[in-house]
Amino acid sequence: MDFLGYVAGFLTTIAFLPQVVKAIKYGSTKDISLGMYILLCTGITLWIAYGFWLGAVPVILANGVTLVFAGIVLFCKIRNG
């Protein structure tokens, strides 16, 4: 079952990569909702805490990387006003 968790985590995490590249490369965050990314980063942080509580490495790893990606987009959004 961990394999399934790793695959699911990889796919949902990599889905954020195009947005991260666009935000960094073009500085384009105009159409991104600030509130959505604040809620997303908060939720991901809670998933990480939940993963630690369960000892679920796939949950911790996938959400850790996702938090980095979403955090970059959130940072760009705040920086770009």
Dist. CA 8–CA 61, nearest whole Å: 11
User: Domain limits at 9?
Assistant: 2-80
Q: What is the DSSP string of 7-57?
A: HHHHHHHHTTHHHHHHHHHH---TTS-HHHHHHHHHHHHHHHHHHHHHT-H
64/77 Cα distance (integer angstroms): 20
**Entry pTM:** 0.87
**Mean pLDDT computed over 51-78:** 94
- Spatial contact of 57 and 13, defined as CB atoms under 8 Å apart: no
Residue 27's domain is classified under what CATH number? 1.20.1280.290
> Which pLDDT tens digit goes with each residue over 9-60?
899 999 989 999 999 988 888 888 999 999 999 999 999 999 999 999 999 9
Domain count, the chain: 1
Separation between Cα atoms, residue 56 and residue 66, nearest integer Å: 16
